[in-house]
Structure formats: structure tokens, C-alpha cells
Amino acid sequence: IPRSPVFTRSNRMIPFVVKPAGSTAVLKCPADGYPAPEITWYKDNRLLKKDDRVRIYF
């Protein structure tokens, strides 16, 4: 049975992250639903895609 996506820990989410250039940022988005929600990340209004600099885990 389909379930709408929900944030499972919305009280721990940070809406805006600032890090120095060259440093590492770890962003988490705990969510649940069925089928599993698709999560996309953006930086400066541009979609982040997996490459040598960006690693995305689900």
C-alpha cells in the first residue's frame, strides 16, 4: 500500500549549511515512504550529481 513520504527526524534537519571552501559537508535527510522517496540535493540552485567530488548515499 503506498504511503506518502514523511521526514522521520524533521526536528534534526538543518535548512541552511555554510562550510568553508574545500571542507567536507555531510547532509542527511531521514525520510520514509512507499515507494521509497527520491531525495535530491541542490547547491546554488543547481542539482548535485554524483561525481569525484560529490558522494550521495541513500
- CA dist., res. 5 & res. 11, Å (int): 16
The whole-number pLDDT of residue 34 equals 96
Write out pLDDT tens, residues 37-52: 988 888 889 998 888 7
Find the domain containing 6 and state its range. Answer: 1-17+25-57
Measured at the alpha carbon of residue 32, what is the angle toward residues 4 and 36, in degrees to the nearest 5?
80
Under the banding of pLDDT at 50, 70 and 90, the label for residue 58 is low
Strands 46-47 and 42-43 turn out to be antiparallel
3-class secondary structure, 10: helix
Instruction: Please count the structural domains in the chain.
Output: 1
Write down the mean pLDDT value for the chain.
84
